[in-house]
Amino acid sequence: MTVSEKTTRDVADAPALTGERADLLEMLAKHRHFLRFTTRDLTDEQAGLRTTVSELCLGGLIKHVTGAERSWAGFVVDGPSSMPDFTAMTEADWAQRADDFRMLPGETLAGVLADYAEAARRTDELIATLPDLDATQPLPKAPWFEGDVRWSARRVLMHIMTETAQHAGHADIIRESIDGAKSMG
């Protein structure tokens, strides 16, 4: 199956929508595909390899994007209470959070990808059924957010899309370092 066919299938699996929601979900599906595509034909061991000086590995990137997507989808529905107060996190909390960027003992690539597919399905369903993309929530407390800022559901979806695209690029570099395979080109 080619990249184009796979992307088309991913988009076809999304809810049947038109207009803005269809465009947003189609673009998100495309970036999700490229992130997942970096793991094609890899073993669990390869998915856990660190090929750069950072802690990042392919399985860990997908775990991180899965968790971020779940958190932000929860934020759309429940606001900042669905996320931690990042300003109150302890060193132990940050160390535990770092596990989201690694393949841990017992984790498999197939399991990580299945978890990601489920998170994506739930996000797509939320975006398809949400009454108003303009509905806003105040951002959670975090050192990287300024003051009393609110994000709309639309803005959150664009953030999920941006994060997915950014990490797909990271994943492409890691994959190329493993065996020379590329997502494009």
Based on the number of CB atoms within 10 Å of its own CB, is 75 exposed (0-12), middle (13-18) or buried (19 or more)?
buried
Q: Which residues are CB-neighbours of 21 under 8 A, at least 6 positions away?
A: 127, 128, 133
* Number of CB atoms found within 10 A of residue 70's CB: 18
Using a CB cutoff of 8 Å and minimum separation of 24, what contacts does 83-87 make?
Answer: 83/140, 84/140, 85/140, 85/141, 85/142, 86/140, 86/141, 86/142, 86/143, 86/144, 87/141, 87/142, 87/143
Query: CB–CB of 56/100 below 8 Å?
Result: no
The pLDDT tens digits for 46-86 are: 999 999 888 889 999 999 999 999 999 999 999 999 888 87
Lookup: tokens for 17 = 């929508």
The CA distance from 128 to 124, in Å, is: 6
pLDDT by residue (tens digit) across 116-135?
999 999 999 999 999 999 99
DSSP-assigned beta bridge partners for residue 151? 137
pTM of the model: 0.87
Closest CA to 48 of 116, 99, 103, 113: 103
**pLDDT tens for each residue of 6-46:** 434 444 454 478 899 999 999 999 999 999 999 999 999 99
Please answer whether residues 157 and 28 qualify as being in contact, where contact means their C-beta atoms are separated by less than 8 angstroms: yes
Rounded Cα–Cα distance for residues 65 and 96 (Å): 16
